């Protein structure tokens, strides 16, 4: 934990806070929030912030594991000695916000102009479709890491693109048209609820 001048604190993922200023990155106007964090870390930190402020309750789902063998050593806690990763059947994140059910997957690309659809898995698309049918607020957070840009992309758009046999990617231009861009923040790192508010408002209109 590093104390910031404001008195607030944030985890910096093991990085040294006092390293020399990265003027190159600063020129690109990449915010503090990008500093070496993966998208998952940014979302987890934001969820923690939202949770503490009672703004929403969203958690990342644990990775499903098939446990085969567990040791119970005397005087210490159980140790899993043989286990395997299982295929997930949902997206990574879900929760509740002002009565709405939120469900989303997080993806990032280093590309500048498009997002490859092969980043999605069948089970994620199927799960998002099911949650949409139940009137959930379903989306993907896509990060263009080279651009420092983040979007709330409605699941309906992603599902249609994924099912289109002629499409292997969605362009940044398409994403800009249908999505809600997340503005960089400091607290939380990735203030995605502001974009979700706009998404919900538009959905209610239609």
Q: Own/partner pairs for 165-174, CB < 8 Å, 24+ apart?
A: 167/117, 168/116, 168/117, 168/118, 169/114, 169/115, 169/116, 169/117, 170/114, 170/115, 170/117, 171/113, 171/114, 171/115, 172/112, 172/113, 172/114, 172/115, 172/144, 172/147
169: tokens are 């990617």
| Contact set for a copy of itself, span 2-41 (CB under 8 A) | none
**157: helix, coil or strand?**
helix
> Within 10 Å of residue 179's Cβ, how many Cβ atoms?
24
Binding residue for a copy of itself (CB under 8 A) from 3, 28, 59, 167? 59
Tell the smallest beta-carbon distance from residue 27 to a copy of itself (Å).
39
| Contact set for a copy of itself, span 140-199 (CB under 8 A) | none
Closest CA to 123 of 133, 113, 131, 114: 131
Is 103 among the residues that bind a copy of itself (CB under 8 A)?
yes
Does 105 belong to an annotated binding site?
yes
Tell the smallest beta-carbon distance from residue 6 to a copy of itself (Å).
26
Binding residue for a copy of itself (CB under 8 A) from 13, 80, 116, 123? 80
Tell the smallest beta-carbon distance from residue 165 to a copy of itself (Å).
24
Binding segment for a copy of itself among 12-20, 96-104, 163-171, 181-189 (CB under 8 A)? Answer: 96-104
Torsion, Cα 141 146 148 151, to 10 degrees, reads -20
**Judged by CB, which is closer to a copy of itself: 36, or 62?**
62
**61: helix, coil or strand?**
coil
Tell the smallest beta-carbon distance from residue 99 to a copy of itself (Å).
4
**Judged by CB, which is closer to a copy of itself: 40, or 176?**
40
CA 11 to the chain's CA centroid: 17
* Residue positions counted in the chain: 206
Binding segment for a copy of itself among 13-21, 129-137, 144-152, 168-176 (CB under 8 A)? Answer: 129-137
Residue ranges of the annotated binding site for Mg(2+) are: 90, 92, 105, 124
Sites of contact with a copy of itself (CB under 8 A):
51, 54, 56-57, 59, 61-65, 77-85, 89-90, 94-101, 103, 127, 130-131, 133-136
């Amino acid at each position: 934990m590093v104390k910031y001048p404001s008195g607030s604190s944030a985890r910096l993922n093991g990085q040294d806070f006092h390293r020399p200023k990265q003027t190159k990155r600063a020129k690109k106007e990449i915010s503090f929030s990008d500093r070496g964090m993966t998208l998952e870390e940014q979302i987890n930190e934001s969820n923690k912030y939202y949770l503490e402020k009672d703004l929403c309750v969203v958690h990342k789902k644990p990775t499903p594991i098939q446990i085969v063998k567990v040791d119970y050593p005397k005087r210490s806690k159980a140790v899993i000695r043989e286990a395997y990763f299982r295929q997930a059947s949902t997206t990574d994140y879900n929760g509740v916000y002002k009565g709405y059910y939120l469900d989303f997957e997080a993806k990032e690309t280093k590309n500048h102009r498009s997002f490859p659809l092969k980043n999605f898995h069948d089970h994620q698309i199927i799960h998002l479709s099911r949650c949409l049918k139940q009137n959930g607020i379903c989306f993907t957070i896509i990060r263009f890491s080279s651009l420092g840009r983040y979007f709330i992309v409605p699941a309906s758009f992603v599902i249609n693109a994924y099912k289109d046999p002629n499409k292997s990617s969605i362009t940044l231009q398409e994403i800009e048209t249908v999505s809600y861009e997340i503005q960089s923040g400091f607290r939380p790192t990735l203030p995605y609820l502001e974009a979700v508010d706009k998404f919900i408002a538009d959905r209610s209109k239609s």
